[in-house]
Structure 1
């Protein structure tokens, strides 16, 4: 074999190896860490998006890592290599509430993550037992506040536990409205809703997806949604903010990567997931969960998470709730 032919063979082999390496890298799956158990709304929406971005990003493998209120999964993301192949779910609890609720937390929510995009928001709704609302002649947020002020300490509300979304929303409502109501914590959202349905508590701040069936059946009366704007899922129901200006509490989650992930990698992930969120198929799928797709820029999602972290610092400290 001549020297020239040998050189050409070597170059051809090198090119084939480089192409094979590039293909292998392209096929390397992205690990999407969901810090909650399989089957819940966050897990379902993550799996739906993973399927939608397969053509642009390749395989996205869902890795459920529940525990410690989401802290275990979030910590895995925080400590992963910042190469775009490990990303995770950022949620109200992990990135806004837990840093103030837990006395010890293994990551810094403000500095250990690079935002990709907000995925969805799920409105919470202020609900009363329909019979209780009728008996007390409460038909609106304004009526509820007026009754509470005229009857100090006679109202109570339930939640899924100390530090839960329903508890924090209730405390924020009391503070903004200038009223008092006894908080009764239950071991989870379902027991809290059962207590409301049976008349053991007067009102709750519940997840819209959970409360909707009982609202539609007439067992619960929806006084207001807690988002800044009316929900497309319940357009006839006003906002709490219509009575208490600036009031805004909802459940949200999105996508984040480890801090230090290159901007070009974040941009690629953002485009793929935002396109998926804006697709008609995704909107239809999420509507069944009463989840509203968002899809925004990394900068917008980062600013939003920063504002949520600041907001919940005040709320959690005001409640005195903490987890050792």
Structure 2
């Protein structure tokens, strides 16, 4: 009878211990590592969280920007951090792209993290200089590229960036070819696109929208699953018979081995924050839409995305090194 009583008691004891573990966390300040410079979209996400998490956690929350190596410096720091929930990574989907782009990483961008939650989605728009003819639709672009293989140009902020892989995916899916012109950052690429020295580019919605509204760029397709409220007349890639989207996801991760109860607690607290209207407004300024997920859902998304971009990188023979 004693053994039966103990067996019945064990599940309750396990739940108690898990609750005690989560309630004891955090015991010190929490650091949100952003592997990019201040002012970027992912930095905006981190600072919105850092401003509101202390009220729920009872500890200070700071943002540490560790830019460099396409996000690998900051990401590696978190991968090597103690898995106790006090050092977290705020990242964009370049994390999974880097797994295929870099051949000599000292950490695994996918296996070395515990997914916590999505925070938001951002949209990339396929845009063209208005003088490119014909370029009103994706079909126009595909037809022009097939008529002049390798002669039309597209710009990116650099090799292996989301902008680059988005275009590589589009060209692979449509069997077309264009000349890739990589820049060191977005500003120079946009300047040449506006000046007519470049034909096409994928740009984040918040960067492209003012130029589209001013008539300086032509919107061809949205990389999102659904049409954008800001540009309701612009079709999605899927509507243009390209069976994919190239949205950017943003999310929070912890070092591998972080206890599940701590991961779930962080997930719940971030989920509450993402419901704030002020947060949605701050995200909108960067072309992002808040969205939460369970840790499992985020993990499944990461796995799917890692496979998809690995295929694009391999087929395009793309390397960031």
TM-score range, shorter chain: 0.7 to 0.9
| Cα drift, residue 86 of structure 1 | 1.0
Q: TM-score, normalised by structure 1?
A: 0.87
Q: TM-score, normalised by structure 2?
A: 0.88
Question: Is contact 1:233–1:290 with CA below 8 Å preserved after alignment?
Answer: no
Alignment correspondent of 1:240: 237
Alignment correspondent of 1:115: 115
In the TM superposition, structure 1's runs of 4+ consecutive aligned residues that sit over 4 Å from their partners are 23-27
Deviations 1:152-204 (A, max 9, x none): 33322111121122221111111111212111112211111111111111111
Alignment correspondent of 1:273: 270
| Cα drift, residue 131 of structure 1 | 2.5
Question: Is contact 1:168–1:319 with CA below 8 Å preserved after alignment?
Answer: no
| Cα drift, residue 219 of structure 1 | 0.2
Q: Which runs of 5+ in 1 are unaligned?
A: 1-22
| Cα drift, residue 233 of structure 1 | 4.0
Q: Distance in 2 between matches of 1:97 and 1:138?
A: 29
Q: Distance in 2 between matches of 1:141 and 1:33?
A: 38
1:182 aligned to which of 169, 179, 186: 179
Question: Is contact 2:44–2:283 with CA below 8 Å preserved after alignment?
Answer: no
**1:147 maps onto 2:144 in alignment:** yes
Question: Is contact 2:115–2:296 with CA below 8 Å preserved after alignment?
Answer: yes
Given the superposition, is the C-alpha separation of residues 251 and 25 from structure 1 closer, same or farther in structure 2, using an over 3 Å criterion? Answer: closer
Q: Distance in 1 between matches of 2:111 and 2:27?
A: 30
Given the superposition, is the C-alpha separation of residues 101 and 226 from structure 1 closer, same or farther in structure 2, using an over 3 Å criterion? Answer: same
Residue correspondences, number: 299
Given the superposition, is the C-alpha separation of residues 252 and 26 from structure 1 closer, same or farther in structure 2, using an over 3 Å criterion? Answer: closer
Question: Is contact 2:274–2:291 with CA below 8 Å preserved after alignment?
Answer: yes
- What is the Cα-based RMSD across aligned positions, in Å? 1.9
User: SS state of the match for residue 136, structure 2?
Assistant: coil
1:211 aligned to which of 192, 208, 212: 208
Alignment correspondent of 1:16: none
Q: Distance in 2 between matches of 1:63 and 1:153?
A: 42
Q: Distance in 1 between matches of 2:154 and 2:168?
A: 10
Alignment correspondent of 2:30: 30
| Cα drift, residue 26 of structure 1 | 5.1
Question: Is contact 1:159–1:166 with CA below 8 Å preserved after alignment?
Answer: yes
Alignment correspondent of 2:222: 225
User: SS state of the match for residue 123, structure 2?
Assistant: strand
Question: Is contact 1:241–1:247 with CA below 8 Å preserved after alignment?
Answer: yes
Q: Distance in 2 between matches of 1:30 and 1:235?
A: 41
Alignment correspondent of 2:159: 162
The 5-angstrom pairing of residues 1-324 of structure 1 reads 28-58=28-58, 59-94=60-95, 96-132=96-132, 136-324=133-321
Q: Distance in 2 between matches of 1:309 and 1:26?
A: 31
Q: Distance in 1 between matches of 2:257 and 2:295?
A: 14
Question: Is contact 2:92–2:249 with CA below 8 Å preserved after alignment?
Answer: yes
Deviations 1:71-93 (A, max 9, x none): 11111111111111111113211
Given the superposition, is the C-alpha separation of residues 84 and 36 from structure 1 closer, same or farther in structure 2, using an over 3 Å criterion? Answer: same
Instruction: Mark the structure with the bigger radius of gyration.
Output: 1
Question: Is contact 1:195–1:201 with CA below 8 Å preserved after alignment?
Answer: yes
